Chains A and B, each alone.
Chain A
Amino acid sequence: MSTREMVGGEAAGARRRLRAPARAWWLRLGSVLVVLIVWQLTAPLVNPLFLRPPSAVVSAFVELSRDGTLPRAILESLRNFLLGFGIALAAGLLLGIAAARWRSFQHLTDPWVAALYSLPSVALVPFLSLWLGVGNAPKVAAIALFAVFPILINTQQGVRLVDPELLEVARSFCSSERRLWLHVLIPGALPMIFAGVRLAIPRALVGMIVAEFLISFGNGLGSLIIVYQNVFRVDRMFVPVIVVAVMGVIFIGVVQWLERRVAPWAHREQ
């Protein structure tokens, strides 16, 4: 390869690197548009009881927003979600840290964590409603139950996997136990903890929707899906589904943003 070609190749490479994200975005947008157009064109060929075109979903969205049904549903589900996720976060961090700190505590919790995590959490939702009634409490509990395990397990593993050389540094500099946690173990575990939180979000959303399916009291997003299914309003059924998808994307985005702020080193270490 001649020098000129190499220089040219390098410039083209640089241009390609600049263009690559733009190209990726066009492909993504194109993919969504194609599906929407095909859906729009083929929907009229199907019985409207089973499928309505995206335009009908959009007008259903507008209707449900205007009459307050959708905002109320979002508010109810969101409140349960935040409460349940908050409980899962607190419990997961505390139990995870305790299990990493005391071997015997880990042995005590191990069988329960293993059993409850491998069991499909859905199976426990009827118990939650039996014990906690039919209000918001069992729904909050379901969200917490779905979300807690990835946070707990990742916290525990994150503390365990802190670089042993750093533990030696702490010992060598006569760190106290409290300072060991504050300066070394918790910051060291942060990347794993964040990964656990990211895994917990979609699980918590599943818990939220499933609890609303199974506990018929309430007007959350999951309840709307069931309500409109019963009256064959497939256009309206799509509205809460899309809202939940958007919620998931936003929550994960927020956590990723937080992680870049709080733990900027995590993805740059070799």
Chain B
Amino acid sequence: MTTLLLDASVLLAAFDSEDDQHEQARALLEDDEVTLATLDLARYEVANVAVRAWRAPDSVAPLLATVERLEEDGGVIPSTRPLLSLAAELAEAHRISVYDAAYVAVVAERAHRLVSCDRRDLVSRDLAVLPAQAH
């Protein structure tokens, strides 16, 4: 069974009923037939969006608790120096940010499958799939 690596956008979409990927992201997080993981970067990203964009600091706790639950499943992968070195190469190769490339680097290192709501930079380049396509 391939572990699914969720980026921060999937976690955020699951907690936002107005996101067009909300239902699919939520279903994925509640699916007990798949192993789910994320990157440690996701902690900063979800907290940042909750505070700065949503203006909903109360959402930080459940979002971070969700990340911790993933730690107990497929894991929260640390952004190590080798991983970020690979991310830098991938960012240059795909013309994407090092942030996005860090998730892609995990896929390259561990044969995980990346799931993201980022159509523009990840899904359109076949670097990730949308939550609905992850099963």
Partners in one complex: no
A residues with CB within 8 A of B = none
B residues with CB within 8 A of A = none
